[in-house]
Chains A and B, each alone.
Chain A
Amino acid sequence: MLYNEPSPLEVKVLTRRFGLPNSASIDTYLATGGYQAFRKALGMKPEEIIDEVKTSNLRGRGGAGFPAGIKWSFVPRTSPKPKYIVVNADESEPGTCKDRLLMENDPHQLIEGMLIAGLAVDAHAGYIYVRGEYRYLIDILDKAIAEAYRHGYLGRNLLGSSFHFDAYTHTGAGAYECGEESALLESLEGKRGVPRIRPPFPAVVGAFQCPTVLNNVETYSAVPAIIRDGGAAFAALGTPKNGGTRLFCLSGHVNKPGVYELPMGFNLLRMIEEVGGGVPGGKKLKAVIPGGSSCPVLTAGECDLAMDFDSVAKAGSMLGSGGVVVMDEDTCMVRMALRIMRFYAHESCGWCIPCREGTTWLRKMLARLHGGGGTASDVSLIGELARNMLGRTFCPLGDAAAMPTIALVEKFRDEFEEHAEGRCRYSHA
């Protein structure tokens, strides 16, 4: 089982079973309070479940931070159409590796979250869309699903009620774009992962053209704790409007990289120093990407910051998917910008021209600049071009490529200008 040495500063709610023997097995799950929240939810009215999730201030852990309870309330429960639960396990945002751990170490927690969501919106089937590279998780999840059927937590007349629910795994085949909810639904239907025009949103027209709740693995995994302990208790763990804990994936230049469950609003500098053990080699902190590669970079001076959705937004970036990428003082920011743009150019589905052409053009310019062949006008053009992509695409991939680029050029302009003169102060160009 993959997990890192826990930190004493962690508040373990979603990760509380990590490290237990056979933590993924239903025996361990049941012995540690598993499926008790589902039992409790069976005795609740659907509106009560949704209210509890609203009270918890649980916000979407995939990156957008939309309140989960409100999302669920958009599903037209009385619609004659079937409703579906879809789990976004297409974890692909560079810097993010938490959903993998939740599925590997505690798959039943996810299944229980799906069941409770199913009760809330009258859905009777759920699909876990797992990125293709995570094949081993399909095996783990299929095993957990089979166990849940055997123990009567999936199937018909669950725990003697009239409720039935089936769960399935579904593998992707390599496409970052499919992490976007409407592209994921296209992919789930056997098509290219090109985003849909919204509205209508998935809550009304989702999987198979039916009302659908679509949340991230971590979002569903929080639901059993919310129902078990109450929404207020979960909310109290975090900051106002930002309930609960968050799995932060510390990576890059830290002494103890790892996935740590910390309360929402945990200070970023403290996270790097006290949880991550600081920057290796006694080097100074230069910058941090706070929530996956699409989030604008923060300079070291901006890192004295509460890590919740609203505080990070106020600081001009995003809490995103929880991928905290730490950079030391010897990191070349032009190299970072180039690597980030290579990724987005590779992943652009090509449907929207500003994204398809913009990412490729930016990649070429950044490569030229990084290679010492750029000009001073390139530096301004990079920023201008990126700003022209903002808000001009159907899905957020165009913005995801533009935002970090704009921030890197604005905050580290001197480095870009030096490259335009053929110099890199870190000289690994």
Chain B
Amino acid sequence: MTFSPELEAKFDKLLASYPPGRQRSALIPMLMFAQDEVGAVTPEVVEEVARRTGVEALQVEEVVTYYSMLRRKPLGKHHVQICTNVSCMLRGGAELWEHACRKLGIGNKEVTADGQVSLEEVECIGACSWAPAIQVNYDFYHDMTVEKLDRLLDDLRKIH
């Protein structure tokens, strides 16, 4: 399969980052960057990354099933991740989660019918002092309220 020139450059850099014979080390970063471009770790991505890192496809599969951020199927264009762990919970994270589910009519790791927004209840994202916090793809949103989340979800549904 073919990737963008930017991703190819990233792959080249990664494969040169580890000691000789240790190309397998590039596996997880390659899967993450490939997923960002392709939308999911598809069977084709597994084959391609296996080939380039010199491991069996099965060994890549083993890794994919372990890490929570790696996924087999694409999620929404805007993947909204709401933290409900302790620091966020104490400041309303659970209420944000319930509100988002109700508003969008979807549950954990589900996607809206138009493919625009998906939801995930996540564990601590390292924004405890700015809780409750969420991430949309890789962007952080701190000190959230139900009102702010409401507006954000409305906006995300319109950004194609």
Measured CB to CB, the residues of A under 8 A from B are: 2, 4, 82, 91-97, 99-100, 125, 127, 131-136, 168, 170-176, 187-193, 208, 249-253, 257-259, 289, 293, 323, 325-327, 331, 335-336, 339-340, 343, 346-347, 349
Contact = CB atoms under 8 A, between A and B. Distances in A.
Interface stretch (B1-9, B17-25, B111-119, B145-153): B17-25
A346 B86 contact: no
Given A190-B55, A249-B128, A331 B22 contact: no
Interface in B103-147: 122-131, 135, 138-140, 142
Interface string B32-67: 100000000000000000000101000000110011
15 contacts: A4-B129, A91-B126, A93-B124, A94-B87, A95-B128, A96-B126, A99-B126, A170-B29, A171-B29, A173-B31, A176-B123, A189-B24, A190-B53, A253-B91, A293-B86
Contacts of B96: none
Nearest to A176: B123
Contacts of A134: 126
Interface of B: 17-19, 22, 24-29, 31-32, 53, 55, 62-63, 66-70, 84-87, 89-91, 122-131, 135, 138-140, 142
Contacts of B140: 2, 136
B126 A171 contact: no
B124 A95 contact: yes
B25 A331 contact: no
Nearest to A134: B126
Contacts of A250: 129
A191 B63 contact: yes
Contacts, number: 148
Nearest to A101: B129
A175 B68 contact: yes
A132 B69 contact: yes
Given A96-B128, A97-B128, A252-B91, A190 B85 contact: no
Contacts of A175: 66-68
B55 A257 contact: no
Contacts of B27: 190
Contacts of A249: 128-129
Nearest to B16: A168
Contacts of B142: 2
B157 to A, nearest CB: 23
Contacts of A125: 19
A257 B32 contact: no
Contacts of B122: 133
A87 to B, nearest CB: 14
A419 B143 CA distance: 31
Nearest to B65: A192
A289 B131 contact: no
Contact of B86 (A95, A191, A349): A95
Given A188-B25, A252-B86, A259-B129, A94 B66 contact: no
A259 B135 CA distance: 20
A4 B27 CA distance: 36
What 9 A-B pairs come out closest when comparing CB atoms? A174-B69, A190-B27, A173-B67, A174-B68, A190-B24, A251-B87, A251-B128, A94-B124, A135-B138
B120 to A, nearest CB: 11
Contacts of B53: 190
Given A94-B123, A173-B70, A343-B123, A251 B28 contact: no
A326 B129 CA distance: 11
Contacts of B89: 335-336, 339
Contacts of A96: 124, 126, 128
Q: Determine which residue in B19, B22, B32, B87 has the highest number of CB atoms from chain A within 10 A of its CB, and name it.
A: B87
A173 B69 contact: yes
A251 B32 contact: no
A298 to B, nearest CB: 14
Given A190-B25, A340-B86, A257 B129 contact: yes
A104 to B, nearest CB: 11
Contacts of B31: 173
A96 B85 CA distance: 11
Given A192-B63, A327-B90, A293 B85 contact: yes
Nearest to B36: A135
Given A189-B25, A327-B90, A174 B70 contact: yes
Contacts of B124: 92-96, 293, 343
A171 to B, nearest CB: 5
A133 B68 CA distance: 10
